[in-house]
Amino acid sequence: MADQLPLGYSAAGVYSGVKSDSSKLDLSLLVSDRPAVAAGVYTQNLVCGAPVTLCRNRTPSDSIQAVVINSGVANACTGEQGDRDAEQMAGKVAEVCKLDGKQVLVLSTGIIGEMLPMDKICSGIDAAASKLASCEESLIAAAQGMMTTDTRHKVTSREIQLDVPVRICGMAKGAAMIGPNMATMLAVVMTDAALSMDTAHEGLADAVNESFNCISVDGHTSTSDTVLLLANGAAGGPVLEGSSLAKFQATLVEVCEDLAQSIPADGEGASHLITVEVHGGATRDDAIKIAKTIADSPLVKTAVAGNDPNWGRIVSAAGYSGIAFDPTKVSLLVNGLLLYERGVPVVFDAAAVSESMKADRNTSIVLLLDEGTASARFWTTDLTTEYVRLNTDYHT
């Protein structure tokens, strides 16, 4: 189905003047027509932005009605004034939308250590409030307003049949400074299903572990990382539980996985999205650790950038992951082609494997162990000279 907002939500994205380029939207507003249950998962960096502190203090909640997002300035490392500015952003939204200030959550992303130009932010909130609508164009504008170095907006949605039809729609931003847990990324997921605060909080945490905590570009955890879930119950069904809740949760994970994959797929300077799968681990934690170690290896990432099926880099990265396994039972496939079987390399057509990597932006790495039944999947990008250029030019 087309990307669309769940019932009861409206969105807008405008240019407020925070960014120097007037062709790039930089302020977004999302509003529910009724109080929503809200939950959040936040950066684990001890150095965090003022909006993260504000949202942490306000979630979980059963009374949130709006989220305001600015891009260009992160409002991080800005001291007490930054806290006041985050509160002022929430207050301004409350004023124009006739809400209580505590019903508003705030997200900011961009350059750290700079103060928000609050006159521009407040004017932008006025402009966004006047443009609120429930159409696809407004949703896309809101998704564009949260972008920084992203090359494309990131939106996905699902509709499922429970007691009533229920929609889940998510939007995200992120392209670099990406490394679990989460990293320089923001995401807001909205649903018209009815959830309790406990199930929203637990469900979002589980979905994030399956998705946003399984991506990496450069391993750098940011100050602003936030994933929010809003559930306003506008679809009209009962509070979800039992099999209905399980079906909703599975779909929430799908939405989060779609958004999570879109972030490294848009990685700065990246020419490949790499999916690392580990099967046969003793535990899921073991499988995740091995997959993450492979995904974070600069040598693996540069090999993929060069379309080089260098199995030695992949297998050796698994070996230094810190997880014990029998190396004589390890097998490896790249793009579905067997390169290594039960501890030894096999004869394969290197040129054909290289061509398969060159011909497709998506590269699949599958490592097979023989320690148990646990599996894990992790997404990352290759490492190119363009990534280095972009990040030497970007002011931090």
**CA-to-CA distance for 8 and 20, rounded, in angstroms?**
33
State mean pLDDT over 32-59.
93
Higher-pLDDT residue of 323, 112: 323
Give the CATH fold of the 9-265 domain: L-amino peptidase D-ALA esterase/amidase (3.60.70)
Higher-pLDDT residue of 280, 221: 280
pLDDT at 341 > cutoff 60? yes
Orientation angle between helical segments 118-131 and 79-97, nearest 10 degrees: 30
17: confidence class by pLDDT, cuts 50, 70, 90: very high
**CA-to-CA distance for 257 and 156, rounded, in angstroms?**
10
Catalytic residue of the set 59, 109, 184, 221: 184
Find the DSSP H helices in 67-210. Answer: 79-97, 118-131, 136-145, 197-210
CATH code of the region 273-393: 3.10.20.340
Nearest C-alpha neighbor of 62 from the set 216, 232, 204 = 232
**CA-to-CA distance for 142 and 10, rounded, in angstroms?**
10
pLDDT at 364: 98
**CA-to-CA distance for 128 and 186, rounded, in angstroms?**
19
State mean pLDDT over 287-315.
95
**Distance from first CA to last CA of the chain, Å, rounded?**
39
Find the DSSP H helices in the chain. Answer: 50-58, 79-97, 118-131, 136-145, 197-210, 242-265, 284-296, 298-305, 311-319, 350-359, 385-393
CB 221 within 8 A of CB 178: no
| Percent of the chain at pLDDT exceeding 90 | 82
Parse the chain into domains and list their residue ranges.
Answer: 9-265, 273-393
Burial class (CB in 10 A: 0-12, 13-18, 19+), 3: middle
Block residue for tokens 């923001």: 186
pLDDT at 213: 87
pLDDT at 396: 46
365: confidence class by pLDDT, cuts 50, 70, 90: very high
pLDDT digits (tens, 9 = 90+) for 150-189: 889 999 999 999 999 999 999 999 865 444 444 458 999 9
pLDDT at 149: 81
112: confidence class by pLDDT, cuts 50, 70, 90: confident
pLDDT digits (tens, 9 = 90+) for 213-224: 888 765 555 667
Return the structure tokens found at 277.
């799968």
pLDDT at 151: 87
For the residues of 134-163, what is the DSSP string, one character each? -SHHHHHHHHHHT-SS-SS-EEEEEEEESS
**CA-to-CA distance for 212 and 55, rounded, in angstroms?**
18
Higher-pLDDT residue of 181, 335: 335
pLDDT at 39 > cutoff 50? yes
Q: Do domains 9-265 and 273-393 have the same CATH topology?
A: no
State mean pLDDT over 240-244.
97
Q: What is the model's pTM?
A: 0.86
**CA-to-CA distance for 211 and 213, rounded, in angstroms?**
5
pLDDT at 182: 41
pLDDT at 268 > cutoff 70? no
State mean pLDDT over 106-123.
95
What is the average pLDDT score of the chain?
A: 92
State mean pLDDT over 201-222.
82
**CA-to-CA distance for 139 and 137, rounded, in angstroms?**
5
pLDDT at 27 > cutoff 60? yes
All residues at 6 or more sequence positions from 232 whose CB lies less than 8 Å from its CB, including other chains: 6, 7, 8, 9, 32, 33, 34, 35, 36, 37, 190, 191, 192
pLDDT at 43 > cutoff 90? no
pLDDT at 184: 59
| Percent of the chain at pLDDT exceeding 70 | 93
Active site residue 385: no
